[in-house]
Every structure is written in C-alpha cells, then in structure tokens.
Amino acid sequence: MLEAAIWYEERQPGLGDEFLSEVDRAVRALSDSALLHRIRFADVRRAPIHRFKFYGVYYILHEQEVWVLAIFHGRRHPRRLEERREKIG
C-alpha cells in the first residue's frame, strides 16, 4: 500500500494521500459489507478501491473478524496472495 502511495505521489502531488484515504475508506466499509464481495480463490475475497480501480483490498473472514491480507494491484501475480493466505493457516 505504501509503495503504491509513493508511486502515485511521485506522479502527482497529493494523489498518494488520496490513495491512502480511499484504501482506508474501503477497509472501514468492510465492517458493513464484507460478505457482499465474492470469493476470488480459496476463501479470499476482494473489495474494490473505487477511485483506483486496479487495486483491491484482499481479505478473509475469520469468525466475526475481517483479516486483510493485502492491498494489491489486480495485475500482480496471485501467487503472492496465495502465499500470504497459506502463512496464516
């Protein structure tokens, strides 16, 4: 997430902060909408980051909690997400 924010900030001042704000908004919204997003693989779901459409919040539901695995660009190889999912069991 920070790498993406830095990348955006280098392209246009203020855009990195906007990215972080949108990520924060998307993560906070999961408290109400975590079950609305479809499963992408295994039990990992993706919530969109609306202004930055190629990014998503990838997460799992564990009991009554939302566990965020990554803020991830959709064109990155999913193997990294799969590895993170395996690490948490």
CATH classification at residue 24: 3.30.2310.20
Task: Provide the whole-model pTM.
Answer: 0.87
Return the bridge partners of 39, or none.
Answer: 45
Q: What is the pLDDT of residue 43?
A: 92
Give me the pLDDT at residue 82, please: 84
Mean pLDDT score of the chain, rounded to an integer?
A: 92
Q: What are the tens digits of pLDDT across the range 24-33?
A: 999 999 999 9
- How far is CA 22 from its chain centroid? 10
Number of domains into which the chain is organized: 1
Query: What pLDDT, in 10s, does the model give residues 20-68?
Result: 999 999 999 999 999 999 998 889 999 999 999 999 999 999 998 999 9
Range of the domain at 74: 2-88
